[in-house]
């Protein structure tokens, strides 16, 4: 059981809004082993970012964790926030989507990196700065000594994301959660950042949770994929299985709607409709209204069941749902 770094069981997160309670996560379970790279894929609003925030203890009013638990090496993370401090930020760290706003604009880059080193590793200020310089060159920033004294607004977006990553790996964490780390960046920079992540995974032996809506970047980097839809995981599996033989109609749709360079004459599908509102989610399969293969039998609760090498939450798992649509 303790072979997993992180285990999430049946996590539920609700948001209280004036319109009612929004069920953002509806029983999410997943786990990640040391050194593993897991991609969480889904549309915006599917709950992937909320999952990451729940792990990092960043769910704020109006949100709240209303059920389930998060275990770090077998110990609950949510139970005692104070006790979690030397896990969060040291062993589990996170890189956010928008590097423009994720850094404190009024602190030098150096101070922001040193801070975490001083806090978790008890380094002196001098030692922390030295380490920060190393980190900056490790993430590929040239002239690190000079950069230390600069403010975020003096750096480019890609540079800032590198700083975020440097901060993320400062204490040699076991798990790095990257929440859409490249979405806000130019395409060329995106590739560099992904490359950096891949490199770091090798050099440090880091486990990574990569959250993205872009299947394209998953294939090269990840070992395993979890697909989220409407606050639930609808399919998990190895990256190979997911791409080669997706079992859930939604996963199939996702892959079929992404252009792939190596397949000729492929017709792209588009998934019509929008995800269901989570104020009052359907009790049955949430994908039903958009699913080309759905029928009356789908109108019952779906849970993640082993299917092939992975797991799928669909009573029609495995059928080629989009055959008709193409």
Partner 1 sequence: MLQFILRRLFQGVLVVFGVSATVFVVTRLAGDPVSLMLPLSATEAQRIAFAQQIGLDQPIAAQFMRFLGDIVTLDFGNSLWQRRPAIDVVFERLPNTMLLIAAGLGSAVILSIPLGAIAALRPGGLVDRLTMSIGLLGLAMPQFWIGLIAILIFAVQLKWLPTSGMGTVAHIVLPALTLSLTPLARFTMMVRAAMIDELNKQYVKTARAKGLGLPRILRVHTLRNILVPFLSISGWELISTLSGYTVVVETVFAWPGLGLTAVQAIQRGDLFLMQAIVFVIAILIVIIGIVLDILSKAVDPRIELN
Partner 2 sequence: MATSSTHVPSAAAASGLRGAIAELWQDKAAAVGLVIILLLILMAVFAPLIAPYDPAAQAITARLKPPVWMARGTWDHLLGTDNLGRDVLSRIIWGARATLTIGAVTCLLAATLGTLVGLWAGFAGGRTDTLLMRIVDIQVSFPGIFLILLVVAMLGPGIWTLVAVLSMTNWMVYARLIRGIVSSTRQTPYVEAAELIGCKPGRVIFRHILPNLVSPLLTLAILEFTNIVLAEAAVSFLGFGVQPPATSWGLDVASGRDYLFIAWWLVTFPGLTIVATVLSINLFANWLRVTADPEERERRFARAEAAKRRRRTRGANA
Binding site for partner 2 (CB under 8 A): 13, 15-20, 22, 24, 44-45, 47, 49-50, 61-64, 277-279
Compare residues 166 and 304 and give the one whose CB is closer to partner 1: 166
The residues of the shown chain that bind partner 1, judged by CB under 8 A, are: 53, 56-58, 60-61, 82, 84-90, 93-94, 96, 98, 101-107, 115-116, 119-120, 151, 153, 164, 167
Compare residues 100 and 204 and give the one whose CB is closer to partner 2: 100
Compare residues 26 and 316 and give the one whose CB is closer to partner 2: 26
* Partner from partner 1, partner 2, none contacting 120, C-beta within 5 to 8 A by type: partner 1
* Partner from partner 2, partner 1, none contacting 24, C-beta within 5 to 8 A by type: partner 2
* Partner from partner 2, partner 1, none contacting 264, C-beta within 5 to 8 A by type: none
Rounded Cα distance, 130 and 121, in Å: 13
The arrangement of strands across the sheet holding 232-238 comes to 92-95, 175-179, 207-212, 37-41, 224-229, 232-238, 310-312, 305-307
**CB-based contact 47:41 (threshold 8 Å):** no
The arrangement of strands across the sheet holding 6-17 comes to 20-32, 6-17, 63-72, 75-76
* Partner from partner 2, partner 1, none contacting 198, C-beta within 5 to 8 A by type: none
Kindly state the smallest distance separating residue 286's Cβ from partner 2, in Å.
12
> Residue 18 CA to chain centroid, in angstroms?
28
* Partner from partner 2, partner 1, none contacting 194, C-beta within 5 to 8 A by type: none
At a CB cut-off of 8 Å and minimum separation 6, what does 180 contact?
49, 97, 211, 212, 213
Kindly state the smallest distance separating residue 19's Cβ from partner 1, in Å.
19
Rounded Cα distance, 206 and 5, in Å: 11
- Residue 254's SS3 state is helix
**CB-based contact 312:247 (threshold 8 Å):** yes
Q: Please name the residue that has the structure tokens 């997160």.
A: 13
Kindly state the smallest distance separating residue 206's Cβ from partner 2, in Å.
26
Kindly state the smallest distance separating residue 172's Cβ from partner 1, in Å.
14
């Amino acid at each position: 059981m303790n072979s997993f770094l992180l285990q999430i069981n049946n996590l539920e997160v609700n948001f209280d809004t004036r319109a009612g309670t929004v069920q953002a996560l509806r029983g999410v379970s997943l786990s990640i082993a040391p050194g593993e790279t897991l991609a969480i894929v889904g549309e915006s609003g599917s709950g992937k970012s909320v999952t990451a925030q729940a792990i990092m203890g960043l769910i704020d009013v109006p949100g709240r964790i209303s059920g389930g638990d998060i275990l770090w090496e077998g110990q609950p993370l949510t139970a005692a926030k104070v006790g979690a401090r030397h896990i969060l930020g040291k062993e589990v760290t996170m890189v956010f989507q928008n590097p423009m706003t994720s850094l404190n604009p009024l602190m030098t880059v150096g101070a922001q990196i040193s801070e975490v080193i001083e806090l978790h590793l008890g380094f002196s200020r001098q030692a922390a700065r030295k380490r920060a310089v190393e980190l900056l060159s490790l993430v590929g920033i040239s002239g690190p000594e000079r950069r230390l004294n600069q403010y975020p607004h003096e750096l480019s977006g890609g540079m800032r994301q590198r700083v975020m990553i440097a901060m993320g790996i400062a204490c040699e964490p076991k798990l790095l959660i990257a929440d859409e780390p490249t979405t806000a960046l130019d395409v060329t920079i995106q590739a560099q950042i992904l490359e950096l992540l891949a490199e770091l995974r090798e050099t440090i032996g880091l486990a990574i949770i990569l959250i993205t809506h872009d299947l394209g970047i998953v294939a090269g980097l990840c070992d395993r994929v979890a697909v989220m839809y409407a606050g639930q995981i609808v399919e998990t599996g190895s990256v190979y299985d997911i791409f080669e033989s997706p079992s859930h109609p939604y996963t199939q749709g996702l892959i079929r709607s992404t252009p792939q360079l190596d397949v000729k004459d492929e017709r792209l599908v588009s998934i019509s409709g929008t995800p269901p509102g989570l104020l009052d989610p359907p009790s049955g399969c949430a994908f039903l209204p958009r699913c080309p293969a759905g029928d009356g039998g789908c109108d019952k609760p779906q849970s993640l069941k082993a299917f092939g090498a992975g797991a799928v939450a669909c009573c029609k798992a495995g059928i080629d749902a989009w055959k008709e649509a193409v």
